[in-house]
A and B are shown apart, each in its own frame.
Chain A
């Protein structure tokens, strides 16, 4: 699959927006949030996680399938910032389809 320029820009902005949301929650600069960071590394606790997901849902108008009771069972991978961004990109593209 090849992406045109606009689609690439859209995906870049998803990444930047998610990082911005996570950084705000962690009270860090976006530049301090790397793709390899875990939420734990960033000091985001369980309440911080649900608040981040809320902000992401609001920003992209999507529903993130995440249940705080069983994060491992969720379809949504939160093991790293890269995984979260990947999941959001997939949800946004599914919604667009």
Chain B
């Protein structure tokens, strides 16, 4: 008996040591790389600035490149990049803001989480020269959330757009001799034609836009494209307008006609996966999803899938966009001056465009809209640049709370026979206006 215990423990211990050895080897390597980077730039008398971001392979590489470039451009500061899993990132920022010692000097932040930090007094104000640039050259939706009481607390790195493009399964289109839809009507009829439903589950999906992000963004765009508006003067929202009701009826008919189902809304993942998995034809999503097809699914662009414009629903172009990724600087930081130095460097058009290309993001600056480098670097998404100026900011809301409420209402509508759409929209408008608005004023 004893022998058996001992041998099992030995075996366990050995595997643990072995696994720990190979598991940690690559993380050690990256650390080594970092330190060697640092030493090459004579880090001895330089002040270290910690830059935190979330884990995303391509993004982190780009951040590190930018830091390296900055470190070489001057000899006062040394930026060190550190990444954390996205699921824990918000919590990580939270703790960082409270501690000067273990915290970051510069933080990348998602516009959706930013209000949680901006509403506190833990962030440093953007210096005046940067503010001047923000006001003159940045598009409105990218700035929205970073303002409080007429001051700016963050600098955008990208224009976030979940509307406008869709991933299409080129193979499926080619096999069935179909061409991409050019108008909204073509889109709907094609979608109806190819989809196969089995009860609540749609086994082959036509056009999909029903997931946690795309549903709400497409719905807002559909209102705006009819010339309607959901955002009132006093910043409350109202979806129960004729345009809002019509758009909702349109989306509900997609579900009722069996073109797509609610699977992604309940599971909390994205529609575009269906297209990559070969069970969907078209899925509306931001351009960031392209890299998942290339790397995650190992597919080929132009052969297996493509990214094309979603046909416009209404007469005029219009959509709403929430504030995307930006940079904030904690008030407790000891080297705020250096931190802003880095942010300025980052925001210079020729640097920013490189970052946007590397991360497949859309540029936040007007001056980058017809940038040739960008169009060469990301030809698949260049068509989106033309519509960017037409976008409006989503509004001073906690966007994830807002979407949660909206999506729940949508599911309830789908689940009821002959629903009272107007009443449901009015109710959700009221609850969103009163519960999800950001507690501080922008101006």
Q: Are A and B part of the same complex?
A: no
Which residues of A are in contact with B by a Cβ distance under 8 Å? none
Which residues of B are in contact with A by a Cβ distance under 8 Å? none
